[in-house]
């Protein structure tokens, strides 16, 4: 089975002239259909740059990015636009309030992808909006509303629905729940799990919070200073992490369980070890 997303040896540099710095130093990553992969990294680790490179929002310096078997890293302008209209890869932003146009109704937002693609009648668009709203459990009464009139959870549903409306194969979610409250987080994560089941979506779930991946991700990829330092199933990463940075991450996550809190001494030793690593080759 070919991977839905196959990134190999990806190098990305940002900035111009003297300020140009390499953010990603040869990243490998795969996402299979129906798989949820958690991409974890701290601020500045390059996780958002990786997502933006996959979506063609920043240029890959070298390496390859294949989505559904098609090499996309070299696509420019009209070829890129044509590929995007196919809707194979979609993005869900962290903050639903900022990612939704405040002046456009939920309906307009939901059908945007189909409208860009063109060739749909008004009635078809209405039907599509209703269907995708049902898929993410948004009451149809909200369709004529504006984002300002919705709750945080409803907004994030709209954002996910907008992405899912074009029937993507790959969904990249950048911290989709970190702006939300506990009760809303549950429903949004459950929604992602359901979409994976019903639509066979591959999901790349980007987060700085390892703890939040527990019940969602099948595999976890740990990004540290622009390099993948460890990849494994969620259980492997959580229960038997190998790389010192992963071990530090796992022992740093606060827990509500009865297990005694991780030993501060162990963490101190791990921190020293992680600091000793030369991050840039």
Partner 1 sequence: MSVSPDSATAVRTVADAVSEPLLSVRGLRVSVADGTEVVRGVDLDVPRGSAVGLVGESGSGKTLTCRAVLGLLPAGVEVTGGRISLGDTELTALPAARRARLRGTHLAAVFQDPASYLNPSITVGAQLAEVLRVKVGLARRAARERAVELLHAMGLRRPEHVYAQYPFELSGGMLQRVLIAMAITAEPELLIADEATTALDVTVQAEVLELLSELCRDRGLTLMVVSHDLAVIAQLCETVYVFRDGAVVEEGPTRRVLRGPRHPYTRELIRDHERFGIDRVREQGSRR
Partner 2 sequence: MRTVTDALRTRAGAIAAAVLAAVLLLAAIGPFLAPYDPLRNGADILMPPSAAHWFGTDYLGRDVLSRVLAGAPASVLTAFEAVGIGLVIGVVPGITSVHLGRAYEWITLRVMDGLIALPFLIFAIAVAALLGNAVHQAMIAVGILLAPSFYRITRAAALSHANAQYVTAAQLFGASTWRVLRTHVWSKILPTLVVSTANATAGGLLIVSSLTFLGIGVVPPEPTWGGIVASDLGYLTQRPYGPVFPSLFIMATVGALNLLADAIRDAGGDHGRARTRGRGGAARVRLT
Which residues of this protein are in contact with partner 2, per CB under 8 A? 55, 57, 80-87, 89-91, 93, 95, 98-104, 108-109, 112-113, 116-117, 162, 166
117's CB contacts (< 8 A; 6+ apart) are: 85, 87, 166
Nearer to partner 2, 87 or 244 (CB): 87
Residue 281's closest CA among 237, 206, 220, 224?
A: 224
> Could you give the string, one character per residue 198-217, with x where binding to partner 1 holds by CB under 8 A and - elsewhere?
----------xxxxxxxxx-
Q: Are 136 and 164 in contact (CB under 8 A)?
A: yes
- Binding-site member from 165, 189, 191, 229 for partner 1 (CB under 8 A): 189
CA distance 153 to 177: 9
- Ranges of H-type helices in the chain: 47-54, 77-86, 96-99, 106-110, 112-117, 122-135, 152-164, 182-199, 234-239, 244-252, 264-276
**Does residue number 253 form part of the binding site for partner 1 (CB under 8 A)?**
yes
Residue 280's closest CA among 221, 223, 243, 226?
A: 226
The entry of partner 1, partner 2, none near residue 187 (CB within 5 to 8 angstroms by kind) is: none
Q: Are 172 and 87 in contact (CB under 8 A)?
A: no
- Binding-site member from 61, 117, 126, 267 for partner 1 (CB under 8 A): 267
77's CB contacts (< 8 A; 6+ apart) are: none
**Does residue number 131 form part of the binding site for partner 1 (CB under 8 A)?**
no
DSSP string, 156-206: HHHHHHHHHTT--SEEEEESTTTTS-HHHHHHHHHHHHHHHHHH--EEEEE
Instruction: Write down the least CB distance from residue 54 to partner 1, Å.
Output: 23
Q: Which of residues 143-182 bind partner 1 (CB under 8 A)?
A: 181-182
Nearer to partner 1, 141 or 261 (CB): 261
- Binding-site member from 17, 141, 257, 276 for partner 1 (CB under 8 A): 257
The entry of partner 2, partner 1, none near residue 99 (CB within 5 to 8 angstroms by kind) is: partner 2
Q: Which of residues 39-78 bind partner 1 (CB under 8 A)?
A: 42-43
Nearer to partner 1, 118 or 264 (CB): 264
Instruction: Write down the least CB distance from residue 251 to partner 1, Å.
Output: 8
**Does residue number 256 form part of the binding site for partner 1 (CB under 8 A)?**
yes
Nearer to partner 1, 43 or 121 (CB): 43
At 172, give phi and psi (nearest 5°): -105, 115
Count Cβ atoms within 10 A of the Cβ of residue 96 and give its class: 0-12 exposed, 13-18 middle, 19 or more buried. Answer: buried
Residues in touch with partner 1 (CB under 8 A)? 42-43, 181-183, 185-186, 189, 208-216, 234-235, 238-239, 248-259, 261, 264, 267, 271
């Amino acid at each position: 089975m070919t991977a839905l997303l196959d990134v190999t040896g990806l190098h990305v540099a940002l900035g111009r002239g003297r300020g140009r710095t390499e953010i990603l130093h040869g990243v490998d990553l795969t996402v299979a259909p129906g798989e949820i992969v958690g991409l974890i990294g701290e601020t500045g680790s390059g996780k958002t740059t990786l997502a933006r490179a996959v979506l063609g929002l920043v240029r890959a310096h070298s390496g390859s990015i294949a989505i559904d078997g098609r090499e996309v890293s070299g696509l420019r302008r009209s070829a890129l636009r044509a590929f995007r209209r196919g809707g194979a890869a979609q993005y869900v932003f962290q903050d639903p309030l900022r990612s939704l146009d405040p002046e456009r109704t939920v309906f307009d937002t939901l059908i945007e992808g189909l409208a860009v693609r063109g060739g749909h009648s008004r009635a078809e668009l209405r039907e599509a909006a209703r269907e995708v709203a049902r898929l993410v459990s948004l009451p149809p009464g909200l369709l004529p509303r504006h984002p300002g009139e919705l709750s945080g959870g409803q907004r994030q549903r709209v954002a996910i629905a907008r992405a899912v409306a074009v029937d993507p194969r790959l969904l990249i979610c950048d911290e989709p729940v970190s702006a939300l409250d506990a009760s809303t987080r549950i429903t949004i994560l459950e929604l992602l799990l359901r979409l994976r089941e019903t639509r066979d979506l591959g999901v790349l779930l980007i987060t700085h919070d390892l703890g939040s991946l527990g019940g969602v991700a099948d595999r976890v990829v740990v990004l540290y200073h622009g390099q993948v330092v460890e990849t494994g199933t969620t259980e492997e990463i959580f229960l038997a992490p190998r790389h010192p940075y992963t071990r530090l991450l796992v022992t740093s996550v606060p827990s509500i369980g009865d297990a005694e809190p991780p030993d501060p001494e162990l963490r101190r030793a791990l921190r020293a070890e992680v600091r000793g690593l030369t991050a840039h080759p």
